Amino acid sequence: MKRRTMVHSRAIHVNVPISLLERFDQELGFKESRSKLICNLMEEHLGLPPITLGNASLAQLVRHLVKHDAIDSTLESLLLQVLAKSP
């Protein structure tokens, strides 16, 4: 069973000109997420620093590894236990 994410999301609906959306989609790479890019743009607008490998918390790194099936459930459990014990 997968753990629930700590970051909750909400679907929103916005109206944008079709031509703008088409240009935006043309710029996206095949494996890029429109939602993720919009989230990054919102964070940038708010002045929040982007989450990179250098400034990500250990919990964020573990969640990323789990999300991308880079670790199995046993290693996930061990890492989460270690994180729970660390200050």
- Tens of pLDDT, residue by residue over 29-78, are 888 889 888 988 888 888 887 777 777 777 777 777 777 777 888 888 88
- pTM here is 0.51
- pLDDT surpassing 60 at residue 5: no
Residue 27 covered by a domain: yes
Per-residue confidence band for 79, with pLDDT thresholds at 50, 70 and 90:
confident
Split into its structural domains, the chain has a count of: 2
Same domain, residue pair 57 and 33: no
Give how far the C-alpha of residue 84 lies from the chain's centroid of Cα atoms, to the nearest Å. 21
Dihedral (Cα; 75, 83, 68, 22), 10-degree rounding? 180
Could you give the CA distance from residue 20 to residue 24 in angstroms, rounded to a whole number? Answer: 6
Instruction: Kindly state whether residues 57 and 85 are assigned to the same domain.
Output: yes
Residue 65 lies in a domain: yes
Cα-to-chain-centroid distance, residue 3 = 15
pLDDT at 2: 58
More confident residue, 2 or 46: 46
Domain boundaries, position 43: 15-50
User: Same domain for 22 and 35?
Assistant: yes
